[in-house]
Amino acid sequence: MLTAFGAVFSPPAGAQGVTLIRDAEIEHTIRTYATPILQAAGLSPQAIEIYIIQDRTLNAFVIPGNRMFLHTGLLMGAEDPRELMGVIAHEAGHITGGHIAGRGEELRNASIKAVLSMLLGLGAAAASGDGRAAGAVMGMGQDAALRGLLSYTRSQEQSADQAAVNFLRSAGISPEGLRNFMSVLEGQEVLLTSSQDPYLRTHPLTRERISFLDQAVQASPYRDTSAPAHLQALHDRMRAKLVGFLEPERTVMRRYPDSDTSLPARYARAIAAHRSGNMGLALERVDGLLVDWPQDPFFHELRGQILLENGRLAEAVPSYRQAVSLQPDAPQMRLRMAQALVGLNDPEMDREALDNLNRVLAREPDDSSAWRLKAVVEGRLGDTGMAALALAEMNYAEDNWREARGQAERAKRLLASGTPGWLRASDLAEIAEREEEREEQRRRR
């Protein structure tokens, strides 16, 4: 399932039972943390795909294809951004150390839907303690070796720790956050396996690792420095947003009472009011934030979301336009603005929506929601060939091979031969046909 905060709660885009979160602000925060660490590791930040899984447990992991996953439990549980940065550095150490090389290489170019299906299987196996459960959930065609995809040896963990300390030093960050995170996990070692956080189950902890990190903190030139103020501010906002969207209103108000007038507290309360259905109070609270921070794109985005999800599309559009003008490189903002524009069913608005959808898809070509909206707009504007191509792309992104092939063949009939759209439709038809044949072969095994 895909959940979008700075947007709407969307239907499943991945495997049932695994919920991904898309949110422009949270993704921006994590990218801010990760970029200097990945650069220190000699990795291109743009080449690492980062996904957020809605799950209360402490966990993070990487899989082939340079895909990194972080649980919301980790994001909310870390009080200091250096803890999260330490975990990211550790996972980067697994990548640079070659620890995931050869593990499930068929996933390197797999769609996110296929990856999530695999993760669901691994989760079932971990919960049951029976590796056969993974095979049952993942399907007959999956490689049994994927059951151990997320587990590392103690030597690999020590190697990743050493790499993480080096990356953090290069980024000017103390390893204290990583040490503190590991200390939290150390307290869980006496628990039954089923009660431990999954990070501990896949990343074996030893006293030697804790001692190494203790020494690294003492030897760090940044041992007496706290997290940079701007990173702490981003972190506090991110945690408040997650709490506001994921926790019951009573929990939000207990954690962020009215007496707390800080920005994160006001932000969480505005979100909680929206989630409880009190649009008037939610708008009052977010408007108060905008009085104090009129150039904050994410407050404008939240205002747009509140209006959009209450059916006030015409009022939502200006808020989204302001948000996008302040944060132009946020595809998810543009996508939700396009949703509001399309809902107005006006040719001028449709053209504006199409421009935004094309920008979204230039950055995220596998976004099936964007392709779905593009199909609607292209059809309304009279380009049935491009509408069919958009439907082919949507189904391709969702691994619906038969529908993808059918829509691609339809697009070929409607588009002029040799044009870029026709060529893309031809490619999609061929790829979808091959994937459909492979899927049929797997079912027969």
pLDDT per residue as tens digits for the range 305-357:
999 999 999 999 999 999 999 999 999 999 999 999 999 999 999 999 999 99
- Nearest-angstrom CA–CA distance, 386 and 398: 18
When pLDDT is averaged across residues 406-431 and rounded to a whole number, the result is: 97
The CA-to-CA distance between both ends of the chain, in Å, stands at 28
Q: With pLDDT > 90 as the criterion, what percentage of the chain qualifies?
A: 69
Q: What angle do the packed helices 176-186 and 207-219 form, to 10 degrees?
A: 160
Q: Kindly report, residue by residue over 422-439, the tens digit of the pLDDT.
A: 999 999 999 999 999 988
> Which of 20-34, 173-187, 194-208 holds the top average pLDDT?
20-34
pLDDT of residue 107: 67
Measured distance CA(351)–CA(377) in Å, rounded: 8
% helix, strand, coil for the chain, step of 5 = 65, 5, 30
Q: pLDDT-based confidence at 131, cuts 50/70/90?
A: very low
Section 55-65 average pLDDT: 88
Give the span between the Cα atoms of 199 and 188, in whole angstroms.
11
Task: Tell me the Ramachandran region of residue 36: left when phi exceeds 0, alpha when psi lies from -120 to 50, beta otherwise.
Answer: alpha
Question: What pLDDT does 149 receive?
Answer: 65
CA distance 21 to 29: 14
CB proximity list for 102: less than 8 A, separation 6 or greater: none
Regarding pTM above 0.85, the answer is yes
CB atoms within 10 A of CB 384: 15
Distance CA 117, CA 351 (A): 36
pLDDT in tens, 358-407: 999 999 999 999 999 999 999 999 999 999 999 999 999 999 999 999 99
Higher pLDDT residue, 74 or 109? 74
Model confidence at 7, pLDDT cuts 50, 70, 90, reads very low
In the predicted model, is pLDDT for residue 94 greater than 50? yes
Rounded Cα distance between 9 and 121, Å, is: 24
